[in-house]
Amino acid sequence: MLDKERILSGFRTLSLQHRVEIIDRVDSTNKRAKELLSQINANDCIVIATEQTLGRGRLNRTWYSPKGGLYFSMIIKTDTRVKSCALYGLMAACAIHEALKVEIGLQTHLKWPNDLLVDTRKLSGILSELVVQGQNEGSNFVILGIGINVNTLTEEFPEDLREIVTSIRTERGCDTPLEDLLVAIVSRIDWWLQTDPSLTKVFYVYNKVCGTVGSEVLIELPEMTIQGLAKGIDEYGHLLVQDVSGRTHMLDFGDVVYLRSM
């Protein structure tokens, strides 16, 4: 079970006063966060679970969530100046990337839109969902769901995932306190929300750290496949891919496949 006092004392120095709900076992922290939003004024709430039974991923996938991982969802009131809600996910990816590097010396590869990999194996993913409340744009929320394989071992994952995932424990060879990692990430997300609430600077920072930028990529969309050079991310968070004919495609979702090894 997570140590709530350790988390709260880590949050004490932050300017945002988060309310924290810790659950031992839940289907999905994003789902629980949506329930909270429908019941109470849940702005700045964080739902954390020791384990998820129906963890959800992007593009209707599942997120395997046994004990030992970090699974949490932050409820954030959106700022009407933010050009696209996707920017919240990109900002969180930058925050996790930096927290892992600074706090535990783990260098990750940030793959658009918000996967964190070590070499080619996935360590962390983000599912951000927009919740529209009423007709007023000023009362929309983003649920930022973050999953990180922390103290699980790759061998403990189901066979079909073993070759494509990794964990901090696998990479470092030792355990990492979940509470400290959570505080390190949330404090960086808070810093962004406080200093750049319109998220205008996210695309500068993201372009610098994202490993997809400058790579030859292939992206399969429902109606077509796009192949070309990933030129960068625009201020909405779209990935700009230039194909061989010189045409630039502006993508807002999809799975990137690298055509050369990273």
Q: Least Å distance between CB 33 and ligand BTN?
A: 8
Q: Least Å distance between CB 81 and ligand BTN?
A: 26
Q: Least Å distance between CB 102 and ligand BTN?
A: 22
Q: Which residue is nearest to ligand BTN (CB)?
A: 125
Q: Least Å distance between CB 199 and ligand BTN?
A: 20
Residue number, 217 or 228, with CB nearest to ligand BTN: 217
Residue number, 92 or 241, with CB nearest to ligand BTN: 92
Residue number, 91 or 228, with CB nearest to ligand BTN: 91
Residue number, 63 or 203, with CB nearest to ligand BTN: 63
Residue number, 114 or 170, with CB nearest to ligand BTN: 114
State the Cα–Cα distance between residues 243 and 225, nearest whole angstrom: 11
Enumerate binding residues for ligand BTN (CB under 6 A): 28-30, 52, 55-58, 61, 63, 65, 71-73, 115, 125-127, 145-147
Q: Least Å distance between CB 130 and ligand BTN?
A: 15
